[in-house]
A and B are shown apart, each in its own frame.
Chain A
Amino acid sequence: MRLQVFCCIILKLLLFTTCSANATDPLVVIVHRDNPNPQLSQHQIVDLYMGKYTAFPDGTLAKVLDYEQGHPLRTLFLTTLTGRPISQINAYWSQVKFSGKASFPQAYQSIDAILEEVASTPDAIGYVPATAVTEDVKVVYRFVQ
């Protein structure tokens, strides 16, 4: 039992360390490498991540991927994207979600999980630190630091 608790603490520390390191890197928005859309505008990404219009510019329905609530990358991404504090964003999402208009994006725990899902799903969209980008995904938006 003690060993399990110890391992759990170590894992959380490692995760925190990893996230903290990556959180300082500029974020990029990624899609599947075969996605025909060359780039997205900031407004289009706001629409996708605020549940207003969940499609790519070519009209394809998008599968929007996000990190779990409280993940440092989620807070960084959404506050940078919208220019609003995370509490206001959560209040807005409470309106959208609890009135049944749209559901939260599919939530993942780690950068690797997002990369894997985007690489294997043609209509997926997610975001990761620029340094984590692989050849299996395509960058469609870069945040200017």
Chain B
Amino acid sequence: MRSTFVMFLSLLWCLSLALQADELKVDGFATLDINISNSQTAGIRHVISQPDVSYLGEPSFANSSIGLQLDWQSSSQLQWVAQAVLKERKEYKLDYLIQMAFARYTLTPNWQFRAGRTGLDLYMMTEYRDIGFAFNYGHPPTEFYAVVPHQNLDGFDVTYTYPFAQSVLSYKVFAGRSNAPIVSDNDFIWDVELESIYGMSLSLQSQNWLIRSNYTTTKAGNTNEQQGQLLRALQPIPDDLWPTRQALIESLQIKGKRFNYFTVGAMYDDSQWILQGELAYIDSHSEVLNHLKAGYVSAGMHQEDDTWLLTFSAAKSNNRVDPGPLLSTPELDVLYHGVIRHTNFYLIDQHTWSLSWRRDLTSTLAVKVQLDHTQANHLPSAFYLHKNLSSSKHDKYFQSLGLSLNWVF
């Protein structure tokens, strides 16, 4: 139904464009990115929906992308926008290809309404994380941005903007639903549906400052098939054998569970010095993703066409690790490891130091290099894919280097 709605909007929009070709604006962006790593067990990626990763001797191009955006102004107050982004995915379908397809209506200079598929205004860079030219980092900090694969919202938003003498205040509320894939080891793929998304964001922007805050709440709309199998396997086990069984069943029943995201962030850029940071807290009614705290802080400077940034990012969750059954049998051990893999999927404790360099080659073309040094206190991690998953010898320290060419046109 949702895909049909998006396709209908896109079709309607394209037909209208054909009639009004003079009013059509076409813009695009492209990023060619290569990432190398010295890790032999942790496959480096920057968002948990990426199926391709880099290991030692195995570079990855997964951060490369190309996109096209069409804007049509049908009246002084009504605009139609569509954006398609092509990047490496586990599955290719129209629903994933269309990043945005919405109508924007400006009722007054203060009130703006958007309906259709819009960007998800969750974190500071969520809406433009695929457009490498738009930000100074080689990639958005993994500890902060990798955990949420959702980038768009099928629904509507209302923005109220108020100008002060030296700044602009914006207050936005939004509602809708979204889906995006999570890819993990052993060909695990889950198209995660988030339904009943309600959020609000507040931002204050002046010439050099941006301060923003966001609160979003949502409900999981589906349960993964593997989780369903684990639930069915847990049902007949007596409580005497596995005292925490009922709590596990409750945690694994993801569908209908509420997830809450809270974030604050600030950025200062006076064209010479840059400071940027965000903090986020995620909690839910499931142990699968609970009490996740993440943040990053960056400091850097512009020197003519060069921009340098030093970043520290960290993420830590407080998931409770289930003690398991009181009896050890081959069947129970297999079940326990399966359960642990799901309930500990977001058991994260790691931090990264990053050094980024950006050189603007022209006004629309930039080259970026970023070196990351990561210390992962818990592996396997939802952030990465892994080799030798059953081995206890995981790389706890590893470096990765990203080189990218970023273009807007």
Residues of B within 8 A of A59 (CB): 108-109
Which of B5-13, B127-135, B317-325 is the interface stretch? Answer: B127-135
Which of A8-16, A29-37, A90-98 is the interface stretch? Answer: A90-98
Residues of B within 8 A of A106 (CB): 73
Which of B162-170, B231-239, B308-316, B336-344 is the interface stretch? Answer: B162-170
Interface centre among A43, A83, A94, A100 (most CB of B within 10 A): A100
In contact, B302 and A88 (Cβ under 8 angstroms): yes
In contact, A52 and B205 (Cβ under 8 angstroms): yes
Q: Quick check: is B114 within 8 A (CB to CB) of the other chain? A: yes
In contact, A94 and B362 (Cβ under 8 angstroms): no
In contact, A100 and B25 (Cβ under 8 angstroms): no
C-alpha gap A46/B164 in the complex (Å): 13
C-alpha gap A55/B110 in the complex (Å): 9
In contact, A85 and B360 (Cβ under 8 angstroms): yes
Q: Quick check: is A19 within 8 A (CB to CB) of the other chain? A: no
C-alpha gap A103/B80 in the complex (Å): 10
The contact size tier of chain B is 35 or more
Residues of B within 8 A of A99 (CB): 119, 121, 127-128
User: Which residue from chain B places its CB closest to the CB of A55 in the assembled complex?
Assistant: B109
Q: Quick check: is A132 within 8 A (CB to CB) of the other chain? A: no
Residues of A within 8 A of B114 (CB): 100
In contact, A46 and B360 (Cβ under 8 angstroms): no
Residues of A within 8 A of B81 (CB): 100, 103
Q: Is the interface of B mostly helix, strand, loop or mixed?
A: strand
Q: Quick check: is B377 within 8 A (CB to CB) of the other chain? A: no
List CB contacts (< 8 Å) of B19-35 with chain A: 25, 27, 29
B188-211 interface bits toward A, Cβ cutoff 8 Å, 1 = contact, 0 = none: 000000000000000001010000
User: Which residue from chain B places its CB closest to the CB of A86 in the assembled complex?
Assistant: B363
C-alpha gap A114/B136 in the complex (Å): 34
Q: How far is the CB of A14 from chain B (nearest CB, A)?
A: 24
Q: Quick check: is A47 within 8 A (CB to CB) of the other chain? A: yes
In contact, A98 and B131 (Cβ under 8 angstroms): yes
Mark B residues whose CB is within 8 Å of A: 25, 27, 29, 67, 69, 71, 73, 76-77, 79, 81, 83, 100, 102, 104, 106, 108-110, 114, 118-119, 121, 127-128, 131, 133-136, 161, 163, 165-166, 168, 205, 207, 271, 302, 304-305, 360, 362-364, 366, 408
Interface pairs (16), CB distance under 8 Å:
A46-B207, A55-B110, A59-B109, A60-B109, A61-B109, A70-B363, A84-B271, A86-B363, A87-B360, A88-B271, A91-B366, A94-B134, A95-B135, A98-B134, A103-B81, A104-B27
Q: Which 7 A-B pairs have the closest CB atoms?
A: A55-B109, A99-B127, A87-B360, A94-B134, A86-B363, A95-B134, A53-B163
Beyond A75-B363, A82-B207, 4 additional contacts (C-beta under 8 Å) are A87-B364, A88-B360, A97-B69, A103-B73
